[in-house]
A and B are shown apart, each in its own frame.
Chain A
Amino acid sequence: MSERIFEGLFVDPRDLELFRVLQEGLPLESRPYSAIGARVGYSESEVIARLHEWRQSGLIKRLGVIVRHRRLGYRANAMVVWDVPDAEVSRVAGRICQYPFVTLCYRRPRKGNEWPYNLFCMIHGQDRPRVEWQIRQLINECEMSDWPTATLFSTRCFKQRGARYTPSQFVALSSLQPA
């Protein structure tokens, strides 16, 4: 995946500021887009147009309420990994993603004997027995029982927040734009 595919979307310095402000979340007031526009020098309709564009392009994967799973009783979180033959990864991943309890699914590199796994998925559930049942369901229905696997339940969360990108990053990014 290209790291810079979205660079062209920041056509105005105010876009960078809007992106930064957006990461703090929308304010809870009647005209939130007008309010964040006022902070970055855009009109309400300009903010809406930008967000539309970013959502269409995929820079914004989703815009909405961001829930805290743990707080809502989803306390069991498992990272499940498999060593899937390279030629099969896309097909299997496509099936795994169909299950609503799978919240993320990635391919990552194997690291020799220490870490032989290349397919990762994340499952959030209300309790451990249920998540264990869901994993068995995945393995059976997606015919994955032949491949080495490991389940890594999280036992403590030390830190969790959305990735934040700093203004210096925007400077670095914008300096790559043609003048």
Chain B
Amino acid sequence: MQGEAIHQRLLNDFQRDFPLSPTPYADIANQLGLTEQEVLTALQELMENQSISRIGAIIPPNSIGVSLLAAMSVPTDRLDKVAAWVSSLPEVNHNYEREHRFNLWFVVNANQPAQLERVLGAIEQHTGLTILRLPLLEEFHIDLGFPLEFPVSA
């Protein structure tokens, strides 16, 4: 196995249950019939071409701190400016334009509910727009990673 095939296996097969052994990359190499160095090199390449953001942990929302999905209806001619300002806030970690009357959707994180509300209030004051507050009430999905289909259209 080489090149592209190694990349695909690494992307698809190790999104969860990453080995909790002293030498996880060697374990992965064993599974794939590679050397540890080949696995490390391939992961480095995937990191560099930004196919993966990191080897890390997904933490469920609201387990530590609080978060909220927020939506605003921003006049089109102000959208770029408002979106850039919202993105600049450290408490905001996702920010998207979507096709709807509510066209700006973002997630705000904070330590405490009071702090969260302060950030939301500051955004409303700065933009003069009202935020639709959509807190999480119940999470149904169990995150098992995302099965990728290859080849994907580039």
Chain A residues within 8 Å of B, Cβ to Cβ: 1, 3, 5-6, 19, 22-26, 28-34, 44-45, 48, 51-52, 54-55, 58-69, 71-74, 77, 79, 89-90, 93-94, 96-97, 100, 102-109, 111, 114-115, 120-121, 124, 126-127, 150, 152-166, 168-169, 172-173
Does B20 contact A51, Cβ atoms closer than 8 Å?
A: yes
| Least CB separation from A16: chain B residue | B64
* B83: interface (CB < 8 Å): yes
Rounded to whole angstroms, the CA-CA distance of A154 and B102 in the bound complex is 12
| Least CB separation from B151: chain A residue | A73
Question: Chain B interface residue count: which class?
Answer: 35 or more
Q: What are the interface flags for B32-68 relative to A under an 8 Å C-beta threshold, 1 for contact and 0 otherwise? A: 0000100010011011011111111111111111110
Interface residues of B in 104-154 (CB under 8 A from A): 105-107, 109, 111-113, 132-149, 152-154
Rounded to whole angstroms, the CA-CA distance of A173 and B111 in the bound complex is 8
Chain B residues within 8 Å of A, Cβ to Cβ: 10-11, 14-18, 20-26, 36, 40, 43-44, 46-47, 49-67, 69, 71, 83-84, 86-87, 92-100, 102, 105-107, 109, 111-113, 132-149, 152-154
Does A164 contact B93, Cβ atoms closer than 8 Å?
A: yes
| Least CB separation from A104: chain B residue | B141
Q: Given A6-B64, A28-B43, A172-B111: A65 and B100 within 8 A (CB)?
A: no
29 A-B Cβ contacts within 8 A? A1-B139, A3-B113, A5-B63, A23-B57, A25-B54, A25-B55, A26-B24, A26-B54, A34-B22, A58-B60, A60-B59, A61-B142, A64-B17, A96-B140, A97-B142, A105-B139, A107-B136, A111-B132, A111-B134, A115-B71, A154-B98, A157-B96, A158-B96, A158-B97, A159-B95, A160-B93, A162-B93, A165-B65, A172-B111
Task: For B49, list chain A residues within 8 Å (CB).
Answer: 71
- Grouping DSSP codes into helix (H, G, I), strand (E, B) and loop, the A interface class, with mixed when no group exceeds half, is mixed
What is the CB-to-nearest-CB distance from A38 to chain B, in angstroms, rounded to a whole number?
13
Task: For A168, list chain B residues within 8 Å (CB).
Answer: 111
| Sample of 5 further A-B pairs with CB below 8 A, known A62-B16, A115-B132 | A58-B60, A59-B60, A100-B146, A103-B143, A158-B95
What is the CB-to-nearest-CB distance from A109 to chain B, in angstroms, rounded to a whole number?
6
Task: For B40, list chain A residues within 8 Å (CB).
Answer: 28-30
Other-chain residue from A34, A61, A126 in contact with B152 (beta carbon distance below 8 A) = A126
Other-chain residue from A6, A28, A96, A109 in contact with B135 (beta carbon distance below 8 A) = A109
Task: For B71, list chain A residues within 8 Å (CB).
Answer: 115
Q: Given A105-B140, A115-B102, A152-B99: A64 and B22 within 8 A (CB)?
A: no
Other-chain residue from A45, A66, A159 in contact with B56 (beta carbon distance below 8 A) = A66
Rounded to whole angstroms, the CA-CA distance of A94 and B141 in the bound complex is 8
